[in-house]
Structure 1
Amino acid sequence: MIEPTDREIAGRHGTLVVREWAGANPGWIALIAHGYGEHSGRYQWVAERLVAARALVYAPDHVGHGRSEGERAHFTDAEAIVADLETLRQQVTAEHPDLPVVLIGHSMGGMLAARYAQEHQEHLAAVVLSAPVLGTWHVLDLLEHDEIPDTPIDPATLSRDPEVGAAYVADPLVWHGPFKRATLKAIDDCLLAINEGPILEKPVLWVHGEDDELVPEADTRTGIDRIRGDDFHEHIYPGGRHELFNETNKEEVMNDVLTFIARALNS
């Protein structure tokens, strides 16, 4: 196991904790944007696979998530989180100016990664979007209620591996409470901005589970089709649920991701 180290950066709305995983002779930088309600510590296995492929891995806990400051699972502007990712990129590329950067975003983090790529394409070598919230998202229907109902995530929707759901439920750094109106509104605003934003011109890989109930593939496709460029690749996995990096076929998924990244970096 590669033990991560921590650094802190000044985010737009508080101090953010960033996990770092490193190995010998790194050849590129991987930035990971985690999903709603979770934290970067859930990407230990992913980070180890990336390090084995010569990456320096940096994964912040977004504002209001994990060990970072802020009200839990609350933010009012997704653009501020995008700006936090850029702050981190500037810091790590100043330390490693010769290394290309690949941005990997999962779920809500996939939305943030897509928006970041629209605004900062010149700084990226490639983008990987895992089950990204794009296009439309049924959870935003909760905004129609005067009071947001508590609709906890069913852990069985995360992976076919029941241990993944059990670990999620037991994780004290995961937010298990209800969605907050400001957060849902910020996500809605970000999706609208992405739909109206520029095409992604850098190499993009989209991976999604065919049986994803949290972020259905068909809904994401409506957003992907608006922003996909010429260098676009996708893998839709039969039977896959929401967290492909924690799925029963996670080795296959990571192999596909690493093959794509290697091709993008060598092109």
Structure 2
Amino acid sequence: MSLREITFTSANGRDTIQGWLYTPAAPPRAVVQIVHGLGEHSRRYLHLISALLDAGCAVVADDHAGHGRTAMESGIWGDAGDDAADVVVADELTLQAAAREQHPDLPYVLFGHSWGSMIARAVAMRPEARLDALGLCGIAAGMRGIEQSIDRAALAEVAGSPQSAEPVPGELMGQLFDGFLERFGEDAGPTAWVALDADVVADHGIDPFNNFGAPLSARFVQGFVDLYDRANGEDFYTALPADLPILILAGDQDPVTAYGEGAYHVANRLWDSGHRDVRTRVYPGVRHEVHNEPGTRADVEQEIIALVERAVNGS
């Protein structure tokens, strides 16, 4: 394997995005771009990256503005600047362009988890993305906090104020993550929704590049909600090519996916809008990170590798 560091100035004009291109020793058959979720970083996907490398894929990933090594370098966590929804999408398109420069003729697969599934859907809607397949894991759809609970008027007011770069009020944060712990018992820790496996939850909590507890700025939360709306809006379904291979993965104990219902909802809307190459897996008893849970990780990796095969074979 060769490892190439990729750095570029974020669309916010402030951060230097830190990214990496992993390439197998043999000539790769495809490129897979991994888009990480909220409060984490791209090296939490090393197990998946290794599986993809073994399957002959080049893999490219970065740490978004306000996250991971990018935030370590800037000192700014939980903020992507003004127009955060557009910033993170533009940055992933820049990363894609850098990867295509190294591997210009290979099929290109985009894989996004959680917040990354929102970013990936917004990227896929852009004609310059030119994707050969799309994978959506821990898909953010049917989230009660965004669709029912959050006070959108109050959020818009604080996000449009001179204090927009300050931490969002705690009441709004509580509304955003409404219901995330209610099924996991009175003693559930703040990130119990992440995984059923205690070691995965513990790793999520102690990783200094993860920093899920960092305060989110008001403008970041506004961008998060805006991007959720875009990813789940009608334009997503009409913008995708009808023959694009799509994979949707979720756990049926994951509040981000409305306990599995969000995954089926997106799959059904894709079918109704004429998309026929859609595969959906909802894993019983599993929470958010189906790609990290020991009981599902290998199966998830095989599903993603099968998606790559669909892209390589043009079906």
| TM norm structure 2 | 0.77
RMSD: 2.3
Within-5 A mapping of 1:44-63: 44-63=46-65
Aligned 8 A contact 1:19 1:41 in 2: no
Determine which of 234, 239, 248 is the counterpart of 1:196: 234
Distance change >3 Å, CA 23–CA 226, structure 1 → 2: same
Structure 1 residue 243 displacement after superposition: 0.4
Aligned: 1:148 with 2:170 = yes
Counterpart code for 2:277: D
Counterpart code for 2:58: L
In the aligned structure 2, how far is the partner of 1:243 from the partner of 1:68?
22
The aligned counterpart of 1:139 is: 145
Structure 1 residue 156 displacement after superposition: 2.4
In the aligned structure 1, how far is the partner of 2:247 from the partner of 2:194?
20
SS of alignment partner, residue 68 of structure 1: helix
The aligned counterpart of 1:162 is: 198
In the aligned structure 1, how far is the partner of 2:269 from the partner of 2:227?
14
Q: Which moved more, 1:150-159 or 1:196-205?
A: 150-159
SS of alignment partner, residue 309 of structure 2: helix
Runs of at least 5 residues in structure 2 that lack an aligned partner in the other structure = 156-168, 178-188
Aligned: 1:233 with 2:279 = yes
Structure 1 residue 166 displacement after superposition: 0.7
Identity of aligned residues (%): 28
In the aligned structure 2, how far is the partner of 1:125 from the partner of 1:230?
14
The aligned counterpart of 1:215 is: 257
Counterpart code for 1:42: R
Aligned: 1:21 with 2:22 = yes
Aligned: 1:258 with 2:305 = yes
Runs of at least 5 residues in structure 1 that lack an aligned partner in the other structure = none
In the aligned structure 1, how far is the partner of 2:87 from the partner of 2:8?
14
The aligned counterpart of 2:77 is: 72
Aligned: 1:173 with 2:202 = no
In the aligned structure 1, how far is the partner of 2:257 from the partner of 2:216?
15
Q: Which moved more, 1:5-14 or 1:146-155?
A: 146-155
Distance change >3 Å, CA 4–CA 168, structure 1 → 2: farther
Counterpart code for 2:31: I
In the aligned structure 2, how far is the partner of 1:191 from the partner of 1:181?
15
In the aligned structure 2, how far is the partner of 1:43 from the partner of 1:122?
22
The aligned counterpart of 2:161 is: none
Counterpart code for 1:72: W
Counterpart code for 2:303: D
The aligned counterpart of 1:186 is: 223
Within-5 A mapping of 1:102-117: 102-117=109-124
Aligned 8 A contact 2:248 2:280 in 1: yes
Structure 1 residue 164 displacement after superposition: 0.7
Structure 1 residue 215 displacement after superposition: 3.5
Distance change >3 Å, CA 119–CA 226, structure 1 → 2: farther
Within-5 A mapping of 1:81-92: 81-92=88-99
In the aligned structure 2, how far is the partner of 1:165 from the partner of 1:3?
30
Distance change >3 Å, CA 28–CA 41, structure 1 → 2: same
Structure 1 residue 78 displacement after superposition: 1.3
Structure 1 residue 142 displacement after superposition: 4.2
Q: State the number of aligned residues.
A: 265
In the aligned structure 2, how far is the partner of 1:222 from the partner of 1:185?
24
Aligned 8 A contact 1:142 1:148 in 2: no
SS of alignment partner, residue 16 of structure 2: strand
Counterpart code for 1:218: E
Aligned 8 A contact 1:22 1:56 in 2: yes
Counterpart code for 2:61: A
In the aligned structure 2, how far is the partner of 1:167 from the partner of 1:103?
25
Within-5 A mapping of 1:94-133: 94-120=101-127, 123-133=130-140
SS of alignment partner, residue 196 of structure 2: coil
Larger Rg belongs to:
2
